[in-house]
């Protein structure tokens, strides 16, 4: 019994620390929820965590209809989905070629992708804007999607590399002996084996694309193609600012990421754990 006492104390301290961390993470979400249900007067006069006299759900209705958040929300959804799907597929193909095939310039190509990790986003805004202007892609969603794919490919490849190195080659060798083509091997054998790391890559790409502001603010000026991160500026005026509406917009923008993370959380942990060690 005495030998188990230190272990129980250790677990108790660990659970206490994790509980404190969880509360620290949840409190800002609760504050934002209350913030989104208040008017300007209540926001500035009541305590941050105080309940308003009346829950103002009309803030959500206002931003969804009058503030055109429904349009921004749809733009964020489809641009994020397309960008994530293309990025993860391309990264899987590149990683498969780098880890499963032998070809010239293999190390050089990997180095080029890793160099992409060191390029600051802000240093590319002017060249990208000039390029998209010449190709008539400014104020077009393709400029945003191409930018997302380009900047997310290096980090996505890096995440997948460690996992691909752990995959057994015996399965693929057996497939080759049975006459399986490279394309079929990738889509039917290798890709299904990487579901956990794909989930990790998807959620990381989704968070970046969903919260991205710089590219949309620089390349898009039409209300038709703006996303949630830029659309929140509609409620900031020169003389008055509707803070409750801003809070409602932020809550709407957070919910999809929270839902996606909760659904994929187990896969994310598996992918990080499996890809962290080679061998």
pLDDT at 146: 94
**pLDDT at res. 197:** 86
As a residue count, the chain comes to 279
- Domain range annotation of the chain: 1-56, 67-275
Percent of the chain exceeding pLDDT 70 equals 91
Indicate the pLDDT class of residue 3, thresholds 50, 70 and 90. low
- The lowest-confidence range among 12-21, 189-198, 238-247 is 238-247
Global pTM exceeds 0.75: yes
- Band of pLDDT at residue 273, cut at 50, 70 and 90: low
CATH code: domain 67-275 is 1.10.3720.10
How confident is the model over 83-134, as pLDDT tens digits?
A: 999 999 999 999 999 888 888 888 888 888 888 888 888 888 999 999 999 9
Residue 265's alpha-carbon distances to 85, 147, 178, in angstroms, are: 19, 27, 37
Instruction: List the one residue out of 192, 176, 201, 190 whose CA is nearest residue 84.
Output: 201
Is the pLDDT at 6 greater than 80? The verdict is no
**DSSP-H helix ranges across 190-242:** 191-193, 195-211, 214-219, 228-231
């Amino acid at each position: 019994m005495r030998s188990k006492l230190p272990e129980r104390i250790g677990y108790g301290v660990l659970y206490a620390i994790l509980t404190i961390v969880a509360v620290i993470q949840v409190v800002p979400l609760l504050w934002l929820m209350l913030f989104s249900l208040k008017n300007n007067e209540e926001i500035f006069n009541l305590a941050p965590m105080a309940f308003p006299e009346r829950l103002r759900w009309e803030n959500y209705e206002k931003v969804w209809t009058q503030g055109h958040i429904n349009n921004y929300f749809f733009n964020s959804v489809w641009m994020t989905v397309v960008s994530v799907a293309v990025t993860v597929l391309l990264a899987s193909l590149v990683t498969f070629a780098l880890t499963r095939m032998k070809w010239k310039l293999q190390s050089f190509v990997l180095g080029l992708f890793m160099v992409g990790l060191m390029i600051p986003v802000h240093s590319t805004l002017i060249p990208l804007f000039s390029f998209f202007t010449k190709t008539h892609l400014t104020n077009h969603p393709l400029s945003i999607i191409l930018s997302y794919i380009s900047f997310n490919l290096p980090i996505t490849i890096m995440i997948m590399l460690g996992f691909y190195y752990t995959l057994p080659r015996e399965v693929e060798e057996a497939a080759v002996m049975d006459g399986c083509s490279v394309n079929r091997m990738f889509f039917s054998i290798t890709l299904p084996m990487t579901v956990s790391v794909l989930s990790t890559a998807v959620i990381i790409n989704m968070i970046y694309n969903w919260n991205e502001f710089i590219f949309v603010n620089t390349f898009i000026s039409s209300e038709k193609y703006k996303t949630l991160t830029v659309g929140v500026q509609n409620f900031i005026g020169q003389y008055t600012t509707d803070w409750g509406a801003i809070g409602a917009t932020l809550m709407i923008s957070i919910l999809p990421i929270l839902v996606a993370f909760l659904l994929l959380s187990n896969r994310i942990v598996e992918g990080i754990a499996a890809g962290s060690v080679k061998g």
